Amino acid sequence: MTQSPPPADMTLQRSSREPGTMAAALTAWLTTVLPPDADPEVVVHDGIQTNGMSSETVLLAVTSTEDGERHTREYVARVAPAAEDLPVFPSYRLTDQYDAMRLAGELAGIPVPQVRLNEPTGDVLGTPFFLMERLDGAVPPDVLPYTFGDNWLYDADATEQQRLERGSVDVLARLHQIPDAARTFGFLDPAVTGHAGETVLARNLAKTRAWYQYALDAPEGSPRSPLIERGLAWLETNLPATEEAVLVWGDSRIGNIMYRDFTPVAVLDWEMASLGPREMDLAWMVFAHRVFQEIAAMLELPGMPDFLTAESVAATYAELTGVEPGDLTWYQVHAAVNWGCVFLRTSARQIHFGEIERPDDPEAVFHHRPLFERLLEEVGA
Q: Hey, which residues are catalytic here?
A: 251
Helix-then-strand count for the chain, H and E: 10, 9
Residue type, 355: E
**Orientation of helix 329-352 relative to helix 369-379, angle to 10°:** 150
| Beta strand ranges found along 96-214 (DSSP E) | 115-119, 129-133
| Beta strand ranges found along 89-171 (DSSP E) | 115-119, 129-133
Contact present, 279 and 256 (Cβ < 8 Å): no
Identify the three-state secondary structure at position 275.
strand
Residues in the chain: 381
Residues 6+ positions from 85 with CB-CB distance below 8 Å: 14, 15, 16, 349, 352
DSSP assignment of 168-182, as one string? HHHHHHHHHT-TTHH
